[in-house]
Chains A and B, each alone.
Chain A
Amino acid sequence: MADVTEPPRESFRLSQLLYDSRYRSLTIQVVAAMLIMALLVELVDNTVTNLAALGKDIGFGFLWTTAGYDINQQLIPFSSQDTHARAAVVGILNTLLVAFLGCILATVIGVLAGVLRLSKNWLIARIMTVYVEAMRNTPLLIWILIVFAVMTEATPQPREFREGGSASMILWDSVAISNRGVYIPRPVWAEGSGLVVAVFLLSIVGIFALRWYARRRQEATGQQLPVLWISLGLFFVPALLAYFVMGRPVSLEYPELGGFNFTGGVQIRNSFIALWLALSLYTSAFIAEIVRAGILAVSKGQTEASFALGLQPNRTMQLIILPQALRVIIPPLISQYLNLTKNSSLAIAVGYMDVRSTLGGITINQTGRELEGMLLLGIFYLITSLIISALMNLYNSSVKLKER
């Protein structure tokens, strides 16, 4: 008869917290958490005490007082009589604008440079190596200042564009590159232009529908449609037709030299160009390496298998390599987008009025609310980064390996 002996049930003793490996890690974590909490409390308490010693309180009422300063680049109307909060929003929009356009341009240049660095052409591959290494091994601030210096020092002043001046506008007198920015024509929307825009948007929807239909058809029957040509046709023809049928309601307002500056048209300021280009060039070098790594991560066998099936090289890239490479590319790409967005706060160096310059610069300075302003600024960048990260993660989950 087997005698099963139960292991003796020990009662819990306090010393087990230290000597029993089952509980020790818990003890350490609790102690560490308490220490961190204590330090945090001390930090906050210290801040409040020191602020009180300086005679300062913490409050956000300053946001609703009159800003009193002007902002040159405004995506929403702003005057010096508006509030600091609105100034902050103007700055936020400027930050988002440069970050958004920067991410797009950086991706385009980065993908190109990454693919070209793998080129079999010795010269192209070496040039791209030099580009990537030069860009990512020098500080971003230097590139911002270099682009800005080129834009302000090497371009003519607006008055050089006068009669007898040494500069002239390019592209049939429609674009002026001056040391205050690039002036381009502005579209003027007359009556009936809404219809043209609507037709144009509809034709874009049509292009996506066409692609969807073509894919379904190919999956069902194996027949391919000339998607590119039909898309191009859809892109241009309906909108142009609507444009002429409605009696050409959209016209261009050209920049003209009047008084001190060009008037009319759209001014793209040098500060914006400098920041945008420098951010894009700098980040594109990192993206190029990410893209190169992604492509190299796809095994050679995939290409060979694809060739064996009779796919052409560009179809191989499009259907076999890139979908697999994207899985490797997207996660580090997210952090590059986040970097670019946060790096845009270097805008202050060239006087671009982003949120760091408005809320984190002039507002703080005119109101003396450093702590509150920097706190808000930190929260803004945190939220923006989290949103970008969330969006990119959504995209990532759509391209990652589907395991069924």
Chain B
Amino acid sequence: MKKSVFLGTLAVAGLAAGLASAQSTLEQVQARGSLLCGSNEGLAGFAAPDANGVWQGFDVSLCRAIATAVLGDPQAVEFVPLTSQTRFTALAAGEVDVLVRNSTWTYSRDTDLNLDFVGVNYYDGQGFMVRSDLGVSSATELDGATVCIQTGTTTELNLADFFRVNNITYEPVPVATNAEGQQQYLAGACDVYTTDVSGLAATRATFENASEHVILPEIVSKEPLGPVVRHGDNDWGDIVRWTLNALVAAEEYGVTSANVRELAAAPTANPEINRLLGTEGELGAMMGLANDWAVNVIAAVGNYGEVFEQNIGENTPVGLARGLNAQWTDGGLLYSPPFR
């Protein structure tokens, strides 16, 4: 009898989940009044709670931007910390509305896992961090090293490829989270910590003696990190994609959190800015949002450049240069399609 009760409960739960997914993600978010954002369990500069328990960071800002676009409130976000192993399952199962968690856009994730990567908010690559007193200057000198690696990541596969192609050996030490990897690396249980360079920089920023650790020059992979949504709900994907594009376009056109209200007060001479800020045309309505959605977003979190400088830029402990993440006009890869 117990068994049938259990099975019954499962079936009912399954049915409930089935019914819930009949609603579109946008409707669900609006009905709930908050956005469920899958985030890192703690990566300084990208997503980590601050001293007051408020989530801060580069990825967090994108979540807040989406919440502002949909709900008009940057605080209407519930952050769901996910490990690298659980993140895609959680997204596919509907536990989060959008995943902004340093996730690399790959072919199989986009197709086989039935997820949609709607853009790239950080162009990254995999690197290696070692103690500077090891005297290692290149990753090809790492023959026989012990490497801490987060399981369930693309870096795990790149690592295997890199060492195999260079015909050198290594000993993988699998860890579940960045915090665990950091602890193992600092204890010396592994010689090398490998993940995306941005993650290495963010991790190193939290070390007591950051200068005793070097990030080796080799970048062994392409890691385009971006927000992910479930496949099939294209309207929701559009909202996330164009929120990100709005941040990028705002920087390109010189719209900042400081001047956005002023620029939105009346149509300006630049029609691109007018369409972005809703003073010309009905672009917001096309996505089912208010016409001034982009104004609220930029006023709340700032444009892409502001978000970058505030969280991971050169004046922060993480200290990342713009590099590939500069605007296309400055020789970077950031290029928003036109708002038209």
Residues of A in contact with B (beta carbons under 8 Å apart): 32, 35-36, 39-40, 42-43, 46-47, 49-50, 53-56, 68-72, 79-81, 152-153, 157, 159, 179-180, 258-261, 263, 270-271, 348-349, 351, 353, 357, 361-362, 365-368, 370
Is the beta-carbon distance between B144 and A36 smaller than 8 angstroms?
no
Query: A261-B145, A261-B146 given as contacts; is B18 within 8 A of A357 (CB)?
Result: no
A152 lies within 8 A of B189 (CB): yes
Q: A351-B174, A368-B112 are in contact. Are A68 and B160 (CB under 8 A)?
A: yes
8 contacts between A and B (CB under 8 A): A46-B14, A46-B15, A70-B160, A180-B146, A258-B144, A259-B143, A353-B174, A366-B157
The stretch of B67-75, B84-92, B199-207, B266-274 that contacts the partner chain: B84-92
Residues of A near B286 (CB, < 8 A) are none
Q: How far is the CA of A129 from the CA of B313 in the complex (A)?
A: 58
Contact between A50 and B152, CB atoms less than 8 A apart: no
**Distance between Cα atoms of A69 and B191 in the complex (Å):** 19
Count B-side interface residues using an 8 Å CB cutoff: 53
The smallest C-beta distance from B182 to any residue of chain A, in angstroms, reads 13
- Interchain CB contact (< 8 A) of B7 among A36, A351, A368: A36
A368 cross-chain contacts in B, Cβ below 8 A: 88, 92, 108-109, 112-114
A71 and B114 CA atoms in complex are apart in Å by 27
- For the complex, give the distance between the alpha carbons of A54 and B175 in Å: 29
Chain A facing B: main interface SS: helix
Question: How many Å lie between the Cα of A54 and that of B92 in the bound state?
Answer: 7
Are the CB atoms of B4 and A39 closer together than 8 Å?
A: yes
Residues of A within 8 A of B142 (CB): 260
Q: Is the CB of B144 within 8 A of A260?
A: yes
Nearest A residue to B4 via CB reads A36
CB nearest to A179 among chain B residues = B189
Q: Using Cβ atoms and an 8 Å threshold, which residues of chain B touch A68?
A: 156-157, 160-161
Q: Which of B108, B109, B172, B230 has the most CB of A within 10 A?
A: B172
Contacting pair B4 A35 (CB below 8 A) = yes
Q: Considering the complex, give the chain A residue whose CB is closest to the CB of B133.
A: A159
Besides A39-B11, A259-B144, A368-B88, 6 other A-B contacts (C-beta < 8 A): A43-B14, A68-B160, A70-B163, A260-B191, A261-B146, A368-B109
Contact A54 B114 (CB under 8 A): yes
Nearest A residue to B21 via CB reads A53
4 smallest beta-carbon distances between A and B, as pairs: A365-B152, A80-B160, A157-B188, A368-B113
Contact A365 B188 (CB under 8 A): no
Contact, CB under 8 Å: A46 / B18: yes
Task: Please tell me if the beta carbons of B187 and A80 are within 8 angstroms of each other in the complex.
Answer: no
What's the minimum C-beta distance from A187 to chain B, rounded to whole angstroms?
22
Known A-B contacts A32-B1, A80-B160; A152 and B184 likewise in contact (beta carbons under 8 Å): yes
Residues on A with beta carbons closer than 8 Å to the beta carbon of B163: 70
Q: Which residues of B contact A35 (CB under 8 A)?
A: 4
**B84, B114, B157, B159 interface centre (most CB from chain A within 10 Å):** B157
- The CA-CA distance from A79 to B146 in the complex, in Å, is 16
| A350 CB → nearest B CB, Å | 9
Task: Please tell me if the beta carbons of A351 and B4 are within 8 angstroms of each other in the complex.
Answer: no
Question: Which chain B residue has the least Cβ–Cβ distance from A258?
Answer: B144
Bound form: Cα–Cα A260–B173 in Å: 14
* Cβ-closest chain A residue relative to B164: A80
A179–B188 alpha-carbon span in the complex (Å): 7
With A46-B15, A50-B17 already in contact, the answer to whether A72 and B4 are too (CB < 8 A) is: no
* Known A39-B11, A179-B189, A366-B152; contact A69-B232, beta-carbon cutoff 8 A: no
Of residues 140 through 172 on chain B, the ones whose CB sits less than 8 Å from some CB of chain A are 142-146, 151-152, 156-157, 159-161, 163-164, 170-172
